Structure 1
Amino acid sequence: MKFKLRRNLFSFRNRVVVIVVGVSLGAVSLLYTNNMARKLREKEQHDVVLWAHAMERINRDVLGGSTPFQDPLVSDIMSTGNNIPFIITDQDLKVLHSHLIPDEIINHPGRLRKQIDRFTEENTPIPVKVLWSAEHYHIIFYGRSALLKSLYYFPYIQILVITAFVALGYVAFRSSKHDEQNRVWIGLAKETAHQLGTPTSSLLGWIEYLRSQDVDQTAVDEMQKDLAHLMKIVDRFSKIGSETPLTPANINEVVGESVMYFRKRIPRNVTLDYNGLAIAPVQANINAALFEWVVENLMKNALDALQGHGAIDVRISSDEQHVMVDVKDTGKGIPKGNWKLIFEPGFTTKTRGWGLGLSLSRRIIEEYHQGKIAVIDSEPGKGTTFRITLKRIFA
């Protein structure tokens, strides 16, 4: 047991280490990418400033009002190998030159204006003096290169990847932990069934012996019923974790058997009502042994909630598609915040018990029977109603 505990702790630490390492690598990568994007943006801004200076210098030697980007050297510097999109306009926003801007934008005033506004948001436009006219100037509007945009978007992609990595790690951790818990409970259930096999067989022999003695046979009959019920419990525990075949069954009769058994074993100040024998039969595919266990567990919880006095009402209802079994009590009730928590393994409000009854009930109904079990109504001090919902079948 100590070895297994240490191995589990080691496995847990390994998962934590993997997640921490993944997050750390992601954080380092994000910082590195952001730094690269910042440096590239500074370089591109510096390049555009150099273009502006080059244009102003050439202006000193240009006569007749020709534009400096018509100079072969400037044109080569600004276009060859350059992936920075830009638009050069005069002071009236008339396009004088552009690079990496589609013609359908340049030739459409509305789209051109939107493109200029977009460039202005990305980078501050740079004015270029026109030396032959103090009233005229050119403006360079420029955006981000494709590489710079990729670097800007890349951190968001990394965040998504890291988030997915952490989520998958968490799911894998929860799944492995859940599977390990399932193996423990399945093993415990089968071992319990195995251990109970010997005393139940012995009790069968003692009951047969008592039948041959001069004792009250009514008491022996009740003992026989309790033993039969105990053998059902052993059978249920042995089925946990195994393939569970479902067969068509009369829900009224199956629930009725559990109610009749409980009715003789509840305190005098508790009443147990059942409508199933007074309505038309309804059918569903169930494993009778496991389904009975769920119904009995709900009635046992209701009995515990009553604390010796009150009422339990078991009712069957149906529609065209479903069969509903309600177990209602007038007990202490459940706060609404605990309606879902009570089905979690280990959750209990009792001073004794492991808090597994409702957890196993949910598993039997939802995983084995493809149905639902839930609290549909409860109020502290007034009682609780549990509902089992199964798919109805027709004979």
Structure 2
Amino acid sequence: MSFYTHKRIWKLLLLIGAITIGFFTLVYTDNLTKELKEEERKSVEIWIQAIKQITQSSAGEDELGLTLEVISQNTTIPIIIVEADTTINSHRNLRLPKDTTEQTLQHLLDKMMKNGEPLIIDLGGDEIQYLYYDDSVLIKKLEWFPIIQLSVVALFIFIAYIAFNGARKAEQDQVWVGMSKETAHQLGTPTSSLLGWVDLLKLKQENDEIAQELEKDVERLQVITDRFSKIGSKPELNEQPLILAIEEIIGYLKRRTAANIHIKINAGDIPYLMVNINKVLFQWVVENICKNAVDAMKGSGTIEISIANPNGHVNIDISDTGKGLARKQFKTIFKPGYTTKLRGWGLGLSLAKRIIEGYHGGKLFVKESEQGKGTTFRITLPKA
């Protein structure tokens, strides 16, 4: 199982865990709210009994004191008492502005009436009043509590994720730079030595053909060394003819790929288009994408490089007739360590994306792909 498969599984498990916690938090809070609402209803019913006792004056002095205490203790539940014709008789525990009007009270009454049926206050002698009540502030806060809690947790996770990603990216950048500089350093010594041997072969005028081929490979090693040495420092961009830069690297690739691999360049009507690039790094990107295309085609197929110049920028589409990609791979293929090959570090496309987007201010992405038919990568660059 690959590293990214493990990573996706862990993300899925964390998401399921978060959803489970959120679900049980909401269920628990909902049940608690329902219990408190039931308790408040009972409190209101007791309050009604106390009102009836006071009205009917049937209680003794001790009982009357207890009844008054019951009435006075209701300081949280908003209540409106109305007559049979819905005329407001009295209200209690309403948060009202100083300039309260009958319209304001009527508006609050309408809201309470929508919440459910009223409680009936039978005062005797055919005198009946109706009591409407609303949830207390405590219950309303409790209803909002899980939403606020989950929002805070989600915000915390988001901030932590951004911070972690930033720290990880900075650490990855340091690793990239360190590895690149060390690679350039390690290649420098044997390359210099090989140059000496090539010069020696030329002086002896023996095996000229071998000396020429060795010189080409040494020059290639110097290009590779130059590429790695530029990672981590801001490369210099120069105005270059785009087609010539692409033709140069494609010419190198053609000599080193199978005869059944055909590479075509389609420049349309813009053969001398100029772009600001670092030639060494840009050619590295094109080479990397083309080599991946060769691997995907398994020794037989066509690579077509098409260049267009719409709306002030340059599009370079590199298409192959290989095995294609699943849509879920469109982004993960650029992540460090992701590879579909049995051998390899999965660093090539990640480096390519960094070079185009980090150094050239462009974009590199999978434009389209269909499994069994091929893939098209698009490089977008600002026009010079």
| The two structures share one fold, judged by TM-score above 0.5 | yes
Deviations 1:336-368 (A, max 9, x none): 442333222222222211111111111211222
Q: Aligned partners of 2:212, 2:136: CA distance in 1, in Å?
A: 90
Matched, 1:91 2:84: yes
Query: What SS is found at the alignment partner of 1:280?
Result: coil
Which secondary structure state, in structure 2, belongs to the residue aligned with residue 344 of structure 1? coil
Q: Which residue type is aligned with residue 50 of structure 1? A: I
1:15 counterpart residue number: none
Corresponding position of 1:286: 277
Indicate if the aligned counterparts of 1:253 and 1:276 stay in contact, CA closer than 8 A: no
Q: For the residues of structure 2 that align with 1:274 and 1:36, how far apart are their CA atoms? A: 70
TM-aligned CA distance change 1:96 to 1:277, over 3 Å: closer
Asked if the contact 2:262–2:301 (Cα under 8 Å) also holds between the matched residues in 1, the reply is: yes
- For residues 237-288 of structure 1, the C-alpha deviation after alignment (integer angstroms, 9 at most, x for no partner) is 1222223343333222222221122222222232222234973322333222
Specify the SS of the correspondent of 1:273: strand
Q: Contact 1:320–1:392 (CA<8 Å) still a contact in 2?
A: no
Separation of aligned partners in 2, 1:131 and 1:175: 74
Aligned counterparts, 1:223-302, within 5 A:
223-276=214-267, 279-302=270-293
Identity %: 41
Unmatched segments (≥5 aa) in structure 1 = 1-21, 63-70
Query: What's the counterpart of residue 360 of structure 1?
Result: 351
Deviations 1:64-89 (A, max 9, x none): xxxxxxx9x99997679834321101
1:153, distance to aligned residue in structure 2 (A): 1.9
SS at match of 1:182: helix
After superposition, the C-alpha distances for 1:308-353 in whole angstroms (9 at most, x for unaligned) are 3332222222113211112222333333442333222222222211
Do residues 57 (structure 1) and 53 (structure 2) align? yes
Q: Which range moved further: 300-309 or 213-222?
A: 213-222
**SS, match of residue 204 in structure 2:** coil
Which AA in structure 2 matches 1:54? Answer: A
Tell me, what secondary structure is at the counterpart of 2:257? coil
Moved more, 259-268 or 210-219: 210-219
TM-score (norm 1): 0.77
Is 1:154 the counterpart of 2:150 in the alignment? no
Is the Cα–Cα contact under 8 Å of residues 86 and 101 in structure 1 kept in the other structure?
no
Contact preservation (8 Å) 1:346, 1:356:
yes
Q: Distance in 1 between matches of 2:236 and 2:71?
A: 77
What's the counterpart of residue 318 of structure 2? 327
Q: Do the aligned partners of 2:268 and 2:307 also contact (CA within 8 Å) in 1?
A: no
| Paired residue secondary structure (1:161) | helix
Change (3 A) 1:145 1:331: closer
Report the more deviating stretch, 227-236 or 274-283: 274-283
Structure 1 CA distance for aligned equivalents of residues 324 and 146 of structure 2: 51
User: Any gaps of 5 or more consecutive residues in structure 2?
Assistant: 1-17, 59-63
Is 2:51–2:71's contact at 8 Å kept on the other side of the alignment? no
| Alignment match, 2:362 | 371
Residues 335, 49 of structure 1: alpha-carbon distance in 2 compared, 3 angstrom cutoff: closer
CA distance in 1, matches of 2:57, 2:234: 92
The 8 Å contact of residues 372 and 388 in structure 1, kept in 2 or not, is answered as yes
In 2, are the aligned partners of 1:87 and 1:142 still within 8 Å (CA)? Answer: yes
**Contact 1:105–1:112 under 8 Å retained in 2:** no
Provide the rounded CA distance (Å) in 2 between the counterparts of 1:105 and 1:246.
73
Q: Aligned residue for 1:3? A: none
How many angstroms apart in 1 are the aligned matches of 2:321 and 2:25? 60
Tell me which residue corresponds to 1:129.
122
Which moved further from structure 2: 91-100 or 346-355?
91-100
| 1:113/1:272 CA distance change after superposition, 3 Å | same
Corresponding position of 2:373:
382
Corresponding residue to 1:221 among 212, 223, 229 = 212
Q: Matched residues in 2 for 1:142 and 1:290: separation? A: 74
Is the counterpart of residue 82 in structure 1 residue 75 in structure 2?
yes
Q: CA–CA distance in 1 between the matches of 2:104 and 2:41?
A: 27
User: Which string of whole-angstrom CA distances, capped at 9 and with x for unpartnered residues, describes residues 35-80 of structure 1?
Assistant: 9867865664454233211211123239xxxxxxxx9x99997679
Counterpart AA for 1:90:
E
Alignment-derived partner of residue 5 in structure 2: none
The structure-2 alpha-carbon separation of the partners of 1:46 and 1:109, relative to structure 1 and needing over 3 Å to count, comes to closer
Distance 2:226 2:295 in 1: 24
CA separation in 1, counterparts of 2:25 and 2:307? 60
Q: CA deviation at 1:296?
A: 0.9
Equivalent position SS for 2:333: helix
Q: Is the 8 A contact 1:247 1:285 kept in 2?
A: yes
Distance 2:85 2:362 in 1: 73
**One-letter identity of the residue aligned with 1:53:** Q
Cα gap change, 1:56 to 1:257, in 2 (>3 Å) = same
Please give the root-mean-square deviation of Cα atoms over the aligned residues, in Å.
3.7
Task: Tell me the SS of whatever aligns to 2:177.
Answer: helix
Deviation at 1:291, TM superposition (A): 1.1
Name the CA distance, whole Å, in 1 between partners of 2:30 and 2:374. Answer: 59
- Name whichever of 47-56 and 292-301 sits farther off: 47-56
Equivalent position to 1:339, from 318, 330, 343: 330
